[in-house]
Structures are given as structure tokens and as C-alpha cells.
Amino acid sequence: MSKHFTFITLGRLVEAIRNGNWSDVPQSALVITFDDGYKGNYKLMKILKQYKVRPTVYLCSHIVNTHRHFWWRAGHPNFYRLKKMPNQKRLTVLRNEAKFEPEREYDNRQALNKSELLEMQPLVDYGSHTKFHPILPNCPAEVSRNEIAASKTHLEDMLGQPIEHFCYPNGDYGTREMDYLKDCGYKSARTLAWGWNDKHSDPFQLKVIEFLDDSSINMLCAHFTGVFVLFRTLRVAVKRLLKLQ
């Protein structure tokens, strides 16, 4: 990727959008982000140093530096059904059917600890991914706001740096969440909407080209060409045409 793209920080991109000064963004600019704060991210340090990449890692503030687990790794057989449930019902189902508690300290940890976060700090930027990664629109207003606000202050206290950027869990959000983010002093939020960002982008609805951890190089290249975005667009257009007939 370093042969075809110029790596820039998320902060640089967001400032260019907010200031309307797109001349500060080089051609073929690329921002790298990672979600959740898995402990495996620590192994990226060697690569980051080698290629001088400064990614943003969005952290679940009340899972990092603990032995708590991510709820979607609890082993429940119907992850997609859980994502559509009201938040309290999701927690109840996880408790009853998977014996999962969001604040339980397990024997093994899944997320980065404070020592690793501080060691990585000179090489990465950190953002918030809520406290426990709920689906925010499925939460009551006070829970949604607390997940957004408390995660920011918790990470700032832990890391001793401002937390200015946010990532919506599962890419789900509404105008309510966008208002909370602005009230809390965030500068941007990343979605899971596929596409590229430009000077007209909304900094609180940043698009992404997503790929999985086990994606091949060929698959990664295909993502960056935009071919999958094209297929999605065509599929939506065809569905609309069929409905009109």
C-alpha cells in the first residue's frame, strides 16, 4: 500500500475537512484505523515503525486495561439477532443464554492493557468506541449519551491525552448520537458506510473502506479500487427498478 498511497493521520484529514483547506491533503491519501482495541494490535508496532504509519485505534474504554470480554465473542449462536435487540434485552439474552456479563473479569484478556497502550502511544492516535460497544440507537437516551461521554473522559484520564475522534459501534447511529458527540467535544466520527471522504464530507459521518483481519492482498486491492462499492450501488439500483415495474 505504501507504494500507491500516502499515509496521513485521521486528525489531518478531519482538520482539512473542518477548515475547508483540502490542499493540505495529498493525492491518494490514506488513513488507517482499527476498531475495538484488541490486544493483537500491539503486534503492529514493528510494521508501524517500518512504514511510518500512524493509525487511529478506536478503544472500548471500559474493556481495555481489564479482563472483560467483548460481547460479540461470548459464543452466542445468533450474533445478528442480538444486534437488533433493545440494549437491555440484548444484555439479558447474553446473560441467560451465554453466561456473559459485560463487567465480569475473565481469566484471559482480549483487549490491550494500559502498559501496551502507553507504549504504543508515540506511534498511534486513540479514539473512542464507547465504553462497552452497545448498538447506540438501541439504547435509551441516557445510556447512549453516557457511553459517548464517559468513554471520552475515561480514556483521557488513562492516557493523559485528548480524545477527539469517535467510531460508531457496528456503524449504527442517528442524529441523537451526532448531537451527543458534538456536545462532548468530539471532532469526528467514523461510520461503516462504504466510500471515500473529500472536502464535502461530514466529519461526523466519515466513510470507510472496510476489510476483515484475514483479507488477502488481492481482496484488499479490490476493496480499494471501489469495485465492491460499485456492485452495491448497482444492486440497490436494480432493486429499485424492479419495484417500479
- DSSP-derived secondary structure for 48-109: HHHHT---EEEE-TTTTTSS---GGGS--S-HHHHHTS-HHHHHHHHHHHH---TT---SS-
Pair (54, 138) in one structural domain: yes
The pLDDT assigned to 112 comes to 98
Q: Residue 68 falls within a domain, yes or no?
A: yes
Q: What is the pLDDT of residue 244?
A: 63
**Burial (Cβ within 10 Å: 0-12, 13-18, ≥19) of residue 172:** middle
Say what the pLDDT of residue 217 is: 46
**Whole-number Å distance between alpha carbons of 86 and 17:** 34
**Residue 181 and residue 78 share a domain:** yes
Helix, strand, or coil here: 245? Answer: coil
Q: Is residue 219 part of a domain?
A: yes
C-alpha cell at 164: 477527539
Check whether residue 175 and residue 240 sit in a common domain: no
pTM across the whole model: 0.88
Considering the domain architecture, whether residues 79 and 169 belong to the same structural domain is answered as yes
* The total number of structural domains that make up the chain: 2
Alpha carbon distance 187, 167 (integer Å): 11
Question: Are 50 and 120 in the same domain?
Answer: yes
Whether 128 and 202 map to the same domain: the answer is yes
- For residue 43, what is the DSSP state? G
Neighbouring CB atoms inside 10 A of 69's CB total 20
Say whether both 171 and 234 belong to one domain. no
The pairing of strands 165-167 and 188-194 is parallel
Residues 140 and 197 both lie in one domain: yes
Instruction: In whole angstroms, give the CA distance from residue 163 to residue 4.
Output: 30
Residues 228, 196 within the same domain: no
Q: Which domain holds residue 100?
A: 6-210
Question: Do 225 and 158 have their domain in common?
Answer: no
Residues 109, 168: one domain? Answer: yes
Q: What is the CATH number of the domain that holds 71?
A: 3.20.20.370
Same domain, 86 and 121: yes
Residue 1 domain-assigned (yes or no): no
pLDDT in tens, the chain (245 residues): 667 789 999 999 999 999 998 998 999 999 999 999 999 999 999 999 998 899 999 999 999 999 999 999 999 999 999 999 999 999 999 999 999 999 999 999 999 999 999 999 999 999 999 999 999 999 999 999 999 999 999 999 999 999 999 999 999 999 999 999 999 999 999 999 999 999 999 999 999 998 765 444 455 555 555 555 565 566 666 767 776 65
